[in-house]
Amino acid sequence: MYLLWLRVAAILYAAACVAVFPSVLRSSLRWRKACVHCGGLAFFFHFVSVVEMLVQAHRFVPVDMREIESLLGFAVAGLFFLVWWLYDAIPMGIFALPVAFFLVFVPALGPGRYHFASEGVRTSWLVAHIVALLLAYAALAFSLLASMLYLVQERRIKSKTRPGKNLLDWLPPLDTLERIAHAALEFGFPCMTVGLIIGAVLVQETDLGAAYFLDPKVIASFVSWVFYVLLLFVRRGAGLRGRRAAYVSGAVLVAMIGVWALNLVSNVHRFGPQ
- Given this model, what pLDDT does residue 16 score? 94
Going through 111-191 in order, the beta strands assigned E by DSSP cover none
pLDDT (tens digit per residue) in 103-152: 898 888 777 666 676 788 888 988 998 899 889 888 888 888 887 888 78
Does residue 159 carry a pLDDT above 80?
A: no
**Mean pLDDT of all residues in the chain?**
79
User: What does pTM read for this prediction?
Assistant: 0.74
**pLDDT higher than threshold 60 for residue 238:** no
CB neighbourhood size of 259 (10 A): 24
All residues at 6 or more sequence positions from 9 whose CB lies less than 8 Å from its CB, including other chains: 42, 43, 45, 46, 49, 104, 108
pLDDT at 210 over 60: no
The whole-angstrom separation of Cα 155 and Cα 148 is: 11
- Mind listing the pLDDT tens digit for each residue in 178-194? 888 888 888 888 888 88
Give the DSSP letter string of 24-54: HHS--HHHHHHHHHHHHHHHHHHHHHHHHHH
* Sign of the alpha-carbon dihedral angle for 192, 194, 200, 204: negative
- Which residues have C-beta within 8 Å of that of residue 227, sequence separation ≥ 6? 251, 252, 255
For residues 89 and 30, the model is more confident at: 30
- Write down the domain spans for the chain: 2-108, 119-264
- Res 94 pLDDT > 60: yes
